[in-house]
Amino acid sequence: MDCFNIEHYLKLVKEMGLEGEEAEKAANLMYTDNRLELEKQAQRNGSVTRAKLYGKIEKVPGDGDCMFTCIGKALDEFRKDIPENLRSASSIRESITDFILGNRDDYSLSFVDGAFDEYIKKLRCKGVYGDNHVLNAAANMYQLTFFIVTDSTDIIIYPEHGTSYGAAYFCYTGNHYDNIIAD
């Protein structure tokens, strides 16, 4: 995607028949949309570039369950003691949601006025994105360490108690998780 200056967009909207203030508003909107898309693309590229320092990126479907799919891959690698049918994204989603609900006192502190119950209700639905609560719960529940590579930093989530069975590496691009497989 190319980044054009505002004059480029002004010329385009005038060719479309817009004039004056209407043309300026349309050109500014096009310019802003282009900049935002370029920033998103740069964020994705930054995450991917940094992730390649740790290994090969294994793409995961962008279906809203990507975090759970990545956790399943970590279970396949480090927790073969967990039955295979409990390592699917849907089973992991259900198990983690139950774990968070069962440890309500630990996880509900950051929610206000019934928002925790609404969060649990939404989290049970396929395609609803996981968040840091999910990663923390997964680390504690499965005794795994998660190493998240983003565009600017690395986030490490350790289990709070006990020994970790291993460290899983994920690439986070702002709204999607992929696995990182060591070379």
Range of the domain at 18: 6-51
Same domain assignment for residues 63 and 148: yes
CA distances (Å), origin 51, targets 60, 148, 151:
14, 9, 9
Residue 155 sits in a domain whose CATH number is 3.90.70.80
Is there a domain that residue 79 lies in? yes
Is residue 146 within 8 A of residue 138, CB to CB? The reply is yes
Name residue, tokens 């927790």: 79
Has residue 173 been placed in a domain?
Answer: yes
Q: What is the mean pLDDT of residues 132-142?
A: 96
Same domain assignment for residues 37 and 113? no
More confident site: 119 or 16:
119
Q: Is residue 138 situated within a structural domain?
A: yes
What span, in angstroms and rounded, lies between the C-alpha atoms of 133 and 112?
Answer: 15
Contact in structure between 156 and 134 (CB atoms under 8 Å):
no
Tokens representing 162 are: 């006990």
pLDDT of the residue at 20: 80
Do residues 12 and 93 share a domain?
A: no
User: Per-residue pLDDT tens for 47-79?
Assistant: 777 777 778 889 999 999 999 999 999 999 999
Looking at the structure, do residues 157 and 177 belong to the same domain, yes or no?
yes
Whether the per-residue pLDDT at 46 is higher than 90: the answer is no
Sorted by sequence, the CB contacts under 8 Å of residue 38 that are 6+ apart come out as 1, 3
Inter-axis angle of helices 89-102 and 66-78, to 10 degrees? Answer: 90
Parallel, antiparallel, or unpaired for β 167-172 and 177-181?
A: antiparallel
Q: Are residues 75 and 154 in the same domain?
A: yes
The count of domains in the chain is 2
Chain centroid, CA 131 distance in Å: 7
Q: What's the CA gap between 110 and 96, in Å, rounded?
A: 17
